[in-house]
Chains A and B, each alone.
Chain A
């Protein structure tokens, strides 16, 4: 039996920060001793999960470390050997995902990034002030890596109106309800082991699972940090071109919204298609308790709608996939925000916009990467027609995945409407696999070797 101590977990793991601004600074270590000194100074600023956020203090600060960062900071060697670290840590953390699926950072490789600092603020003034303090303190030990060419050289996010992201959908509705204490009631809650390292179990395994490396990572998690470009013009113009075919009897504006909702699985206000397939309903806009078992053919929510793939809920798995999820899932904690200005209309203005954030999980292979596989090829459940095993998530599928069919299908009362040649609506612009250490783990990382 175990219980998570919130004071030892970085706050971003425990809860979605509902702050309007974020900034993500990426660093390479140039002097390990100075870099560790920087960490020792800034650890006291790190927001852990026992911090009272009811008064909305700012800034909120969180830190991530990469595999190459553990080496650059001298952790590998001081905790244990490189061989033992290589055996202990999962390959997904140690080996950067290929640019083909992860995107490529401009000007540097993922392996160049050693340390990340994540800020959440209420005001531009505090964001600028904290950024300046970090940069000043980091200068002797760290080199900042800048993937952005315009404006501040870091990656900055901001909440759009009504918690929307650039495709117009409200975000942050559905997050796993986690059972942080084994002894607590709530069998329907998600075991914390899906997100917190250091408590590996046969049904919810994570690694490192034993020895000094497990001690280091305990109460931490893995974060898949990504910058994802969203092609809003392509999405909006796709809706305009195809809406009438889906709903010829509706005004075009309503037909567009219906098509958008069918592709996402929720209306733009958040209403799940599973609960209200014909119109958005404010009373269920924040609904999270629903399933798809009474909609096996996708008559309400299409089987290839994004939310239905990214969170399978009660959908069954095919036999070969089932053993991977003895404790349910895959579960992910999503922490993201929009970047870039909103597009007005459907004409592409050439401006970069999208989503920046992290997917948090204890086992990237069976959580994050599995979901990405399903998004790119919907073959995990018997709900998918055996003749359509090569189809994709209508919203987020990577159309360059080998062998996939870039079509969508939406069932209507009049029959099935096919969407042909689904465009590429999103594109990864860089991905990092981070260890988001617990507080004790951070202190250990920051310690100078004996």
Chain B
């Protein structure tokens, strides 16, 4: 069953950070996107993924993924360590980079960036009602879908 990641970080508004944001945007297609793509394919749990910037004030990582949020977080912390370091360096209240080497600190920080969508969906793994998430495939997971292709 798919879960929504609506990771939303508030971008620091100082000139250096905004310059780095512009640099990241410019290299994203050639230097960042391929890394993300490779990790997503390896995971076999992510249905869709994208990264957005809203008026240079917010950056979002939006995905739909299967399985445990704990496994998801740790897998991508290791696979995309430099990408996340780059993105989190833009964020207000981000812990120091060395803290991101700590699996627990990374998990807690990223969990704090999660937004709940409007409406009510299925219960998440914590037993709490998640936000509304529509799936045309019911609760079919990536591995199931891929096995049928």
A complexed with B: yes
Give me the interface of A with B, judged by CB distance under 8 Å. 87, 90-91, 97-102, 200, 202, 205-207, 209, 318-324, 363, 365-366, 369-370, 373, 379, 386-387, 389-390, 401-403
Q: Are B68 and A373 in contact (CB under 8 A)?
A: yes
Q: Give the interface segment out of B4-12, B25-33, B53-61, B72-80.
A: B72-80
Q: Are A402 and B139 in contact (CB under 8 A)?
A: yes
Which residues in A have their C-beta under 8 angstroms from that of B101?
Answer: 202
Q: Are A366 and B143 in contact (CB under 8 A)?
A: no
**How far in angstroms is the closest Cβ of chain B from A404?**
9
Q: Are A390 and B70 in contact (CB under 8 A)?
A: no
**How far in angstroms is the closest Cβ of chain B from A107?**
20
**How far in angstroms is the closest Cβ of chain A from B76?**
9
Contact of A402 among B71, B104, B123, B141 (CB under 8 A): B123
> For B44, B68, B122, B126, which residue has the most chain A Cβ atoms within 10 angstroms?
B68
**How far in angstroms is the closest Cβ of chain B from A87?**
8
Q: How far is the CA of A324 from the CA of B77 in the complex (A)?
A: 10
Which residues in B have their C-beta under 8 angstroms from that of A322?
Answer: 75
Which 3 A-B residue pairings sit nearest by Cβ, starting from the closest? A100-B127, A98-B127, A403-B139
**How far in angstroms is the closest Cβ of chain A from B137?**
11
> For A97, A202, A321, A401, which residue has the most chain B Cβ atoms within 10 angstroms?
A321
Tell yes or no: B43 within 8 A of A by CB.
Answer: yes
Which residues in A have their C-beta under 8 angstroms from that of B103?
Answer: 205, 366
In the complex with contacts A205-B102, A209-B104, A320-B67, A402-B74 CB distance below 8 A:
no
Ordered by A's residue number, 27 sampled pairs between the chains whose C-beta atoms are within 8 Å are A98-B128, A100-B128, A200-B102, A205-B103, A207-B102, A207-B104, A209-B105, A318-B44, A319-B42, A320-B44, A321-B68, A321-B71, A322-B75, A323-B79, A363-B104, A366-B74, A366-B103, A370-B68, A379-B66, A389-B143, A390-B1, A390-B139, A401-B123, A402-B122, A402-B123, A403-B122, A403-B138
Which residues in B have their C-beta under 8 angstroms from that of A101?
Answer: 126-127
**How far in angstroms is the closest Cβ of chain B from A431?**
10
Which residues in A have their C-beta under 8 angstroms from that of B72?
Answer: 320
Q: How far is the CA of A98 from the CA of B130 in the complex (A)?
A: 12
Which residues in A have their C-beta under 8 angstroms from that of B102?
Answer: 200, 205, 207, 209
Q: How far is the CA of A318 from the CA of B68 in the complex (A)?
A: 12
Tell yes or no: B14 within 8 A of A by CB.
Answer: no
Q: Are A379 and B67 in contact (CB under 8 A)?
A: yes
**How far in angstroms is the closest Cβ of chain A from B35?**
16
Q: Are B104 and A90 in contact (CB under 8 A)?
A: yes
Which residues in A have their C-beta under 8 angstroms from that of B67?
Answer: 320-321, 379
